[in-house]
Amino acid sequence: MTQEKFLLICQLGMGLFWIITYILIIKQGFQDKKYGMPMAAICANISWEFIFAFMYPQNDLQRIITFLWFMLDVFIMMQFLLYGYKEYKKIIPRKIFYSSFFITLAVSFFIILAMIHEFNDIAGKYTAFSQNLMMSGLFIALFIQRGNLSGQSMGIAVCKMIGTMFAAVGFYMYFRTPLITIISLATLIYDWIYIVLIYRFYVKYAK
């Protein structure tokens, strides 16, 4: 198999399984009336996808994939704004909840732009792998915080991990750096922990 074909398979696998992940998050969110992605992850994701769909687009295929991710993340963001306040209304006022979201969104956007400039990362690989690691940790934290699977599912966890594996393998084979290798391994470890936690929950409570 040529390098081009192998990378195309990894690109399509990554794109497809993360699209499925986002669709499952949206579906589960509407079903449970809960947001399915933590705030910081939403802000980082939607900022990265906007930047690399409209400001620094890659090849035509990746631009299409990134645009699809962005559109799906818009729905995920809307679910957070729709359902999120109900979860925190006993802790913070409504104005603080919404203002903190939009401040985090703005900060995420400018941090990603700064990282692109700092690391000369026009392809977005360092920012993408870093925020994927952050997302994996935040999914675990969300599960522990809630103590249940509201807004989450085994399908979400497994599809996210498979998408991450396609990205990690593709970069390791041809574009690896020590930093991305470490981040990829850490992300896969956290994704595996998340799957195990969900499995243990199913075994304990699903009758």
- Crossing angle of helices 3-32 and 60-88, rounded to 10°: 20
Report how far residue 11's alpha carbon sits from residue 199's, in angstroms, rounded to the nearest whole number: 28
Least confident residue range of 30-34, 123-127, 189-193:
123-127
Q: So what's the pLDDT on residue 59?
A: 81
**In one letter, which amino acid is 63?**
R
Is pLDDT at 207 greater than 70 in this prediction?
no
* % of residues, the chain, pLDDT over 90: 80
Residue 206 confidence class, pLDDT cut points 50, 70, 90: low
Residue 60 confidence class, pLDDT cut points 50, 70, 90: confident
pLDDT (tens digit per residue) in 137-153 = 999 999 999 999 999 99
Tell me the mean pLDDT in the region 91-96.
91
DSSP string, 5-60: HHHHHHHHHHHHHHHHHHHHHHHHHHHHTS--S-HHHHHHHHHHHHIIIIIS--SH
Question: Widest CA span of the chain, in angstroms?
Answer: 57
In the Cβ-directed half-sphere of 102, how many Cα atoms lie within 13 Å?
6
- The pLDDT mean for the chain works out to 93
pLDDT (tens digit per residue) in 105-126 = 999 999 999 999 998 988 889 9
Structure tokens at 66: 């990134």
Is pLDDT at 16 greater than 60 in this prediction?
yes
